[in-house]
Amino acid sequence: MNLSYTDEQNLLRDSVSKFCSSDYDFETRMKSVDSESGYNPEHWKLFAELGWLAIPFSEELGGLDGNNVDLSLIFEEFGKSIIVEPYLANVVLSGGILKRGDLESKTQILEELISGTKQISLANYEPNKGYNLDNVDCEISSDGVVNGTKNTVLNAPNADFFIVFGRQGSGYAFALIPKDASGLEVVGYKTYDGFVSGDLKLNNCKAEAVFSSKNALEILDETIQDAIVCICSEAIGAMEKCYKLTIEYTQQREQFGQSLSKFQALQHRMVDMFMETEFTKSFLLKVLATEDVSEKTKLIYGLKNQVAKAGKKVGEEAVQLHGGMGVTQEMSVGHYLKRLMVISHLFGSSDYFLDKYIDS
């Protein structure tokens, strides 16, 4: 048994952590959030230069042969600064589909993704259809014509290409669609955590390519599992920041002639926040250290259930203990709660994953 990170992983963590703590303070983040594209292209370029966009891809695809543990520690650091740059959408989701899929041009398109020159968004969820991955109406015909509506397509307004998941005959497939394809309308918007997303309206839209029609659903499922591990790691980073911010604030804020942190009732609440974070972190390590695929899948469902509850609780407590200041846009703590809340239902709610845990 070995629960420690490798030297290489520690170096990676240091490098991400250094960026997040020195180049990504709260004001910098909010500048990205308030900008038109919702992220800072300079940061994206830097991520590419540092090789971060290449991590989860094999060497033959131009990547660094990294694994889930590498991604997890990147996301944990991202979570501490609630980084809005579209790493999840591009590298984990679209990259995850492409590396597993049989798209002919995948080497070339991944090269563009890894170099940061092109962005790609995965479009699988549909309005009012819940979280089951196979619950889609979107149709991809045998000659590559796509019809349907997708929503909450992460990073849609910045995407150069979309990977659209839909039904094909009695199975499923992916369609690769450039952003300017005729028959495609993109409605971009912010999501309530400050990220960007969008709806796709596909009306007889001709795909550039259709791929993985034999195992699209399996590929999607595996990719979403990777993404769940990433956002759960991100949540843990955000939770850690939440209790630290709260300790700092309650030490500074004085009421009734002493700092709030001296009140025992509040101390216990902060201890609970810390404990929630630590136990969630332990659960994450269990997931990362598990090798058996079906056991790992079950544990990922359990992790998402745990994170949805614990992240929400820690975020809410952080806001509550900040008092009125906690609900203002100018304090960072509320923005951590927003991200934790989105993570709590992204890819499925706590109840949804509890059921999946029980059933698998």
Site residues, other proteins (CB under 8 A): 125-132, 135, 149, 151-152, 187, 189-193, 197, 199, 201, 254-257, 265-266, 312, 316, 319-320, 323-324, 326-330, 334-335, 337-338, 341-342, 345-346, 349, 351-352, 354-356
Choice between 23 and 218, CB closer to other proteins:
218
Q: 19 or 336, CB closer to other proteins?
A: 336
Question: Residue 209 in contact with residue 239, Cβ under 8 Å?
Answer: no
Give strand pairing partners of 168.
171
In a 13 Å sphere around the CA of 82, the CA atoms on its Cβ side amount to 30
Strands 120-123 and 161-168 turn out to be parallel
The amino acid that residue 214 corresponds to is K
Nearest residue (CB) to other proteins, 49 versus 185: 185
CB of 76 to other proteins, least distance (A): 23
Backbone dihedral region for residue 121 (phi beyond 0: left; psi -120 to 50: alpha; all else: beta): beta
Q: Which is nearer to other proteins, 4 or 128 (CB)?
A: 128
Taking the C-alpha atoms of residue 73 and residue 200, their distance in angstroms, rounded to an integer, is 32
Smallest distance from other proteins to CB 319, Å: 5
Cβ proximity to other proteins, 47 vs 301, nearer residue: 301
Strands 209-211 and 258-259, by their bridges, are unpaired
Whose Cβ is closer to other proteins: residue 16's or residue 186's?
Answer: 186
Three-state secondary structure call for residue 28? helix
- Compute the least distance from the CB of residue 134 to other proteins, in Å: 9
- Coil, helix or strand at residue 6: coil
Closest CB to other proteins among residues 173, 186: 186
Of the candidates 257, 250, 244, the one whose C-alpha atom is nearest the C-alpha of residue 322 is: 250
Q: How far apart are CA 77 and CA 75, in angstroms?
A: 5
Minimum CB distance to other proteins, residue 329 (Å): 4
How many CA within 13 A on the CB side of residue 21? 10
Pick between residue 54 and residue 123 the one whose CB is nearest to other proteins. Answer: 123
Give the tokens for residue 156. Answer: 């849609």
Q: Distance between CA atoms of 338 and 334, rounded to whole angstroms? A: 6
CB of 112 to other proteins, least distance (A): 27
- Distance separating alpha carbons of residues 72 and 58, to the nearest angstrom: 17
CB of 168 to other proteins, least distance (A): 20
355/170 Cα distance (integer angstroms): 26
| Least distance to other proteins, CB of residue 334, Å | 4
Kindly state the smallest distance separating residue 341's Cβ from other proteins, in Å.
Answer: 7
83: β partners = none
